[in-house]
Amino acid sequence: MDNLDKTSSYRQILKYTSLFGSIQGINILIALLRNKIVAVLLGPSVMGLMSLFNSTLQMLSTATNLGIGTSSVKTLSEQMEEDDTYRQERHVRVIRSWVMLTAIIGLVVSLLLVPLLNKWVFADGDHCLQLLLLVPAVPMMAIFGGELAVLKATRQLTSLARISVLNMAFTLVSALLLFYFVGEKAIVPYLVSVAFAQMLFTIIHSYRLYPLRLSLRGKTLREGLPMVKLGLAFVAAGICGTGADFAIRAILNQVASLEIVGLYNSGFMMTMVYAGMIFSAFDSDFYPRLSKVNRNIQESNQLVNRQIEVTSHLLSPMLIAFSIGMPVLLPLLFSSKFIPVLSMIQVATLSMFLRGMKLPAAYLMLGKGDSKTYFWMELYSAVVLVVTVIGGYQLFGLIGTGVGILLTELIDLLVVYIVTRLRYGYRVSKEVVRTASQHLPLQVLCLAVTLLLTDIGYYVAGILLFSVSLGLSIHFFIKQK
């Protein structure tokens, strides 16, 4: 590939990463206000209860959606390359037909599981009625996931950005109104209303592109069997991830308290969500593009390595500023009651840089439709996460949960690189090695500063590290112009 194509590729990655990063930045500002509202009005214990309901909802959704939201992006992206409008419309109909079927399955299965979930998850009383009222959100999330996949595969990036902003704006307004006037009892209505809103916003945009047509006839459903077969492995893999998230919160609720669950959830959310400014472009832009070139090893490797470079340069200064500013941000964004989770967040922040280096390579499994490898990787990662986080908490308290997240991401990074090298011929480029050698030491030094320094020395060292990281990133992006 010549220098012009190379530069163009970097620019495309930066363009869409910046686009969705900016949108995610707006979402985060809205989320800050929402979290502040919930933290002040409800406190850590009730936030812990809400995280248990939300984890339960996510697990039910993942377990019953047959992975359509993931597998359909790959299959429809490949169809888009053929420029056959009829086949594309036909495939969208197949996707929607299977999504409708999964919505019905999700509703029935969730209703049947309510008594068991009430017994397994909650140690503070009977929540059967609340779980029953939560169930309608499961089919809503199935429909939302299917329509979102259609928009991703057809690269309707403007619509995806608009939907994201609308969803977050709705969550802010509904959180303010419901929790202010209703309080703790508003948790389930809030979660259901958010699921309905995101479904509604998505189908409005998707139906304009492809008007709704469904067919539950055997012939139509049979056309989608390869997609479903691929999706089922993604379901199993997804259950591992959401199951680990669910298990950690349930175990912390049993061995500690709802307050600890709330603190852990706020720390996890702060760490994962705000780094998600950069990761938000992966599903919407990177995954469909990788799926299109998945049969070409050289192009796949180039795309992955360039995504790692851009992601690392964008992440590094942001993570340093985030970690150094956390003593001020945490009470500002939540309340002083959440200070005990400060060290957990600062330790876990380093894991986000490792995650940024891992994810593009991990997407090779999705882009190539290698569902079996993807499942085993997710299963192993989920087990490691639960063991390290719970073990870390037992040994060191909340900071130990941050250490557990960091250890999991470090192990994941090494294993993903080894597996993708052996199975797909992925090779880390010298540019990626150079980028890591520049920014990773700065991230480690930043963690050392947060743990060892105080007062003026803390902020002087932090500003110095941020300046160096920012300078390296600016130099990289200037070279791509």
Burial readout 403-431 (b: 16 or more C-beta within 10 A, e: otherwise):
bbbbbbbebbbebbbebbeeebebebeee
Amino acid, res. 193: S
| DSSP letter for each residue of 94-140 | HHHHHHHHHHHHHHHHHHHHHHHHHHHH-SSS--HHHHHHHTTHHHH
Give the separation between CA 176 and CA 35, rounded to whole angstroms.
Answer: 10
Does pTM surpass 0.85? no
CA 322 to chain centre: 18
The string of pLDDT tens digits covering residues 366-405 is: 888 787 888 899 899 999 999 999 999 999 999 999 999 9
Are 260 and 390 within 8 A, CB to CB?
A: no
Would you give the DSSP letter of residue 156? -
Are the CB atoms for 103 and 23 separated by under 8 Å? no
Give CA–CA dist 468/476, Å, rounded.
Answer: 13
Question: Cα(304)–Cα(375) distance, rounded to whole angstroms?
Answer: 20
Per residue in 339-373, pLDDT (tens digit) is: 899 999 999 999 999 999 999 999 898 888 787 88
Distance CA 324, CA 105 (A): 47
Alpha helices in 122-156 (DSSP H): 128-134, 137-153
- Residue 195, judged by CB atoms within 10 A of its CB (0-12, 13-18, 19+), counts as buried
Q: How far apart are CA 94 and CA 29, in angstroms?
A: 38
The length of the chain, given as a count of residues? 481
What residues in the chain have per-residue pLDDT under 70?
1-9, 11-29, 31-32, 35, 39, 44, 78-84, 123-125, 273-278, 280-284, 481
CA–CA separation, 63 vs 71, rounded Å?
A: 15
The answer to whether 369 touches 294, Cβ cutoff 8 Å, is yes
d(CA 368, CA 377): 15
For residue 155, what is the DSSP state?
A: T
The Cα-based distances of 479 to 12, 131, 302, 472 in angstroms read 14, 54, 18, 11
AA letter at 266: S
What pLDDT is attached to residue 7?
40
Contacts of 412 (CB under 8 A, 6+ apart): 354, 355, 358, 362, 381, 384
Q: Enumerate residues 6+ apart whose C-beta is below 8 A from 438.
A: 472
Residue with the two structure tokens 């990761």: 279
Q: 200 near 63, Cβ under 8 Å?
A: no
* CB-based contact 244:59 (threshold 8 Å): no
Q: Which of 331, 356, 194, 188 is nearest to 272 (CA)?
A: 356
